[in-house]
Structure 1
Amino acid sequence: MTEQPDAQIDIPTFLAALPQGMGRLNEKLGIELVEVSSRRVVGTMPVEDNTQPYGLLHGGASVALAETLGSVGSGVHAFGMSKLSVGVDINATHHRAMTSGVVTGTATAIHLGRTSAAYDVVITNEQGKRVCTSRITCALVPMPE
């Protein structure tokens, strides 16, 4: 990946430009963006109300956080080429259970191309311990007319 300057995006302006803001699922999960650029996206999500029947953080919630962060980063990258970003592949490994608190996800670009973008996403607890590791690949497609 060629190093190029990557300005951080103003989050309220970014969200206001999206047709549905953060999207209904992200709102339900309580996901909040902290930092946004095409190379790095950071966001948080509460564990409370995002648990499975045993009271543990739901793995699907972690995957939704990872997909959100990778999709936002690739969307910022795609926008500069007048394209849309759509997820085509995601995987996750869950390392540690959570029953309370807040998790923080950091998506770091590993590929920013003309037709695809990929991110490593690390989700940690409040002590900085890894909860989940994910990788997402998005296709960059022409915007509909």
Structure 2
Amino acid sequence: MEISATPATSRLRTPEEHQLPAYLVERIYHAARLAGLPLAIETGDAGVYLEREGPLAGPTDHVVVSWHVPDHLFLTAMDQPLQAPAPTFLNAVYQATDHVLTTLLDNSGLETRHHPRTGALTVLGITGPPPTPLNDTPPKPADQQA
């Protein structure tokens, strides 16, 4: 699975930059595309985002999955007090998308858990077959194809 260079936002890194396991990245992307969810690394903005826990050194055996919100919402929320509308809305987005992603990935034959301290949704492995064959993934949106 090839993903083009990182879009022009400092908050996004490619799975290769994170040294994530390619077999898990492929399965997660497959599930997201089947559900019609955008991938943040392709949109350069909101979408399913993959990263890792801990330092960015060496390969890892897991993938942390989250929803990457639009930069405008993120930056606005960071500039307001915690109980202001934007941070409250941002928290609601994170809670809702975490539930959706957990349910989606669990039902895509992937083993997930939430980190006991950080709460990060982590994909640890594969527990069953994907919902459809991996070569049956819907294509990227036309404006994102190379």
TM-score after normalising by structure 1: 0.33
Name the structure where strand makes up a greater proportion of residues: 1
Q: TM-score, normalized by length of structure 2?
A: 0.33
Say which structure is richer in helix: 2
